[in-house]
């Protein structure tokens, strides 16, 4: 079943279900330095007031991409950057709509990457 309402995403309910916090932790080379905030973003980060040097957003959808940029950009360290997967991927065009909406409101430096997924980096 598609979760698409605006022609923004080819993602379907049930995609990427084969995972867990335990599986993710098992792949971490330094698990003692990792904190998982499990749940739906942005609710999953309420109360977190860290700053960030690097953020990777790969959520395939408009709303959490925009929420991620609105949440993380103000908390980004000077010189830090946000990597956004699928910015130039037509299967997930909501990602581009979200990034463009953010950049229209906050004209900050951004640089598309020539990678397979059409990623983009937002800089501080
Ligand atoms: C393309 S997958 C991420 C793949 C991952 N980066 C990897 O390389 O294995 C997109 C993920 O975003 C998650 N996602 C979408 N919206 C979300 C939200 N609001 N909060 C948390 N996760 C979300 C989906 O459940 C899905 O697991």
What domains can be seen in the chain, in order of their start residue? 21-123 (3.40.50.150)
Residue 94 CB–ligand 1 contact under 6 Å = no
* Minimal-distance CA residue to ligand 1 atom 13: 59
41 within ligand 1 shell (Cβ under 6 A): yes
SS3 state at 75: helix
- State the Cα–Cα distance between residues 76 and 53, nearest whole angstrom: 6
> Which of 30, 7, 31, 121 lies closest to 72 in space, CA to CA?
121
For the chain, 124 residues long, give each residue's pLDDT as a single digit of tens: 556 667 788 878 888 889 999 999 999 999 999 999 999 999 999 888 899 999 999 999 999 999 999 999 999 999 999 999 999 999 999 999 999 999 999 999 999 999 999 999 999 9
pLDDT at 51: 96
Q: For residues 37 and 15, what is the distance between their CA atoms, to the nearest angstrom?
A: 20
Supply the pLDDT for residue 3: 60
């Amino acid at each position: 079943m598609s979760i698409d309402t605006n022609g923004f995403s080819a993602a379907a309910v049930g995609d990427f279900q084969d995972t867990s916090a335990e599986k993710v932790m098992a792949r971490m080379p330094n698990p003692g330095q990792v904190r998982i905030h499990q749940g739906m973003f942005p609710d999953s980060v309420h109360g977190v007031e860290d700053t960030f040097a690097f953020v990777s957003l790969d959520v395939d959808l408009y709303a959490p991409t925009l929420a991620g940029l609105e949440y993380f950009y103000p908390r980004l360290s000077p010189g830090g950057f946000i990597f956004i997967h699928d910015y130039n991927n037509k299967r997930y065009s909501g990602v581009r709509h979200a990034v463009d909406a953010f950049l229209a409101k906050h004209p900050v430096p951004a640089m598309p990457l020539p990678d397979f997924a059409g990623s983009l980096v937002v800089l501080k």
